[in-house]
Chains A and B, each alone.
Chain A
């Protein structure tokens, strides 16, 4: 079984996101998107059962490759990525086009994603990749059981449902579905010798165009901060009074 897992390098979420001409400013050192840790965890659980090969696929400015290293530290075998200036500010369709081409180049059976990136959060790329690859997409997976079959539990509006994983498909994993593992010192050292390969955009079959034109970013007048009370034991009374005034009670 060959598994491709998407990992996105994003600016450290602890810092405020800034934009230039509608494109997120990306520092040289970016980190692994926490959302992707869930997908990587699912891939690693499959690897443990089926001796699968797990390859990280990624797109965007590689920079110091810290985020890719973090993905390898969790236990993926290798990483391939595309870093091309012409992909700056790519829309979701073009991103999906590139990632699906990377998955194809690996002849991956299973392609795994988080549900949406923390910085772009379009939440459409996994489904688009499945369409490019002409396989089914098992979206919003929140758990897996490996027995005679690999059973995936999907999050639905009303609750959940289960499906058996087909031989070839795309999976998107919701945050919280599985418990991503933390690498230990040995894992961190081992990751340093794992291959990270850059793939040239020219070697991929890209059919998507940029169809979305950035116009501008407007700052909204920030809403007023109201009254702030330091609790010295009686602040609950302020809430009671307010709830009464608002006729909640």
Chain B
């Protein structure tokens, strides 16, 4: 099946999400090409054995609708049937636009897919990972948004050998681009993740989480509730509508463990949960559960590390 992966760039390289999808496409022996969208000058994204096209856009214009039109044109010209992208801000925009062009509804949050008799079937995780929802796509095109960490990444050597296509700016100018300072380990790559929930009671109490994170060289995440409350930026949200993490150790502090949160962390290798409520669902996932007040356990932990 002729397949297109919409690629993304992080740190001048292909993103881990892109490589994970490429890994899956290779294992299925799909006839794959990659179109990577970014605004870097000459990113190292060329692939030895897979066709790579770079759509270079200006980050001073919100022009993903124009990028999508370009990709739709290529899909139609080259008779591509399967279109894959990560569940990221950019790919969600692009695949949504393209889905209207191709009149084929995309499937979001896919954790696995397969090809049978020329049809794509997909697997979604629902109810916090307790159930798997399976569906089949009957339209001419199949568009999938894939959750991060669903597949093992392809092992590739990247080069700078690829065709570059420019796209026009839209009428919407982008200004005041702000890059958050990223200090310490990043959520997706860190071996230890400490997450905070409502049980931290007050934003000021996150200080003890930061202390613990420094001691354990851990990244910090949070539940939707505390992100909504403005205690943490959205980029640190772990869960269904946030990031997916798979660290060696996940420490859940004052998190009840709503299914929406579980989706983002349930594949962590070892889960430590601290919560006052003995009945909190997070304990169902915890390898080590501490029933107690996070606000008293964490400071003692900090003093003894």
Contact = CB atoms under 8 A, between A and B. Distances in A.
Nearest to B267: A223
A185 interface: no
A76 to B, nearest CB: 21
B88 A157 contact: yes
Interface stretch (B75-83, B124-132, B150-158): B124-132
Contacts of A162: 174-176
A115 B241 contact: yes
A116 B260 CA distance: 13
A249 B97 contact: no
Interface in A93-131: 93-94, 96, 115-116, 118, 121-128, 130-131
Contacts of A96: 100
Task: Give chain A's interface residue range (CB within 8 Å of chain B).
Answer: 35 or more
A123 B290 contact: no
A166 B65 CA distance: 15
A211 B105 contact: yes
Contact of A249 (B62, B92, B96, B216): B216
Given A158-B180, A159-B178, A162-B176, A216 B134 contact: yes
Contact of A225 (B10, B136, B145, B283): B283
B293 interface: yes
B297 A121 contact: no
A246 B289 CA distance: 16
A198 interface: no
B284 interface: yes
Contacts, number: 252
Given A124-B92, A231-B290, A246 B270 contact: yes
Contacts of A121: 108-109, 240-241
Contacts of B260: 118
Given A91-B105, A158-B180, A217 B216 contact: no
Secondary structure dominating the interface of B: mixed
Contact of B170 (A115, A136, A142, A161): A136
Contacts of B109: 121-122
A184 interface: no
B299 to A, nearest CB: 9
Interface string A1-22: 0000000000000001101001
B227 A175 contact: yes
Contacts of B131: 217-220
B292 A211 contact: no
Interface stretch (B47-55, B196-204, B228-236): B228-236
B97 A131 contact: yes
Contact of A127 (B93, B270, B284, B297): B93
A222 interface: yes
A224 to B, nearest CB: 8
Nearest to B230: A176
A204 B64 CA distance: 28
Contacts of B1: none
Contact of B177 (A159, A237, A238): A159
A240 B290 CA distance: 12
A132 B216 CA distance: 49
B167 interface: no
B291 interface: yes
Contact of B108 (A92, A131, A161, A228): A92
Contacts of B271: 226
Given A127-B97, A211-B104, A225-B289, A16 B134 contact: no
8 contacts: A116-B241, A124-B92, A166-B171, A215-B135, A219-B130, A231-B274, A238-B290, A246-B248
Interchain residue pairs A-B with the least CB separation, the first 9: A231-B292, A127-B96, A93-B105, A211-B139, A91-B105, A131-B100, A226-B287, A159-B180, A228-B289
